[in-house]
Amino acid sequence: MLEFSTTVKLPVQLAKMAEEYVQEGWSVDMNSLIVEALRRYMETHQAQILERFIEEDVEWGLNGDE
């Protein structure tokens, strides 16, 4: 699988909680945990994302400056 690498800065408390999850075996490693969290975020925010796109389209349609 192709992968994209990036660096993220986590608040210390959040990082500690994430490490505990990994140590307790809820996730294989920190990378897997973050990928899973991102996936879940995408799933749960899909409706909001779609609404944002529609709002942006309405605004552009009405008042765009191109």
Partner 1 sequence: MSNAVLDAGPLIHLSELRALDVLGDFQVLYIPPVVWSEVVHHQPEIAGYIDLPFEKIEAPLVDEKLATFAKMFSLDLGEVQSLAVAANYPDALFLTDDAAARLVAEEFGYKVHGTLGLLIRAVRKGHRSSTEILEILRNLQKNSSLHIRSSLLSDVIKKIEKEWKSS
Residues that bind partner 1 (CB under 8 A): 1-4, 46, 49-51, 53-54, 56-58, 60-64, 66
Cβ nearer to partner 1, comparing 19 with 57: 57
Give the whole-angstrom CA distance, residue 49 versus residue 7.
24
Cβ nearer to partner 1, comparing 37 with 54: 54
In the three-class reduction of DSSP (H, G, I as helix; E, B as strand; rest coil), residue 66 is classed as: coil
Cβ nearer to partner 1, comparing 16 with 40: 40
Q: How far is the CB of 13 from partner 1 (least distance, A)?
A: 27
Q: How far is the CB of 43 from partner 1 (least distance, A)?
A: 12
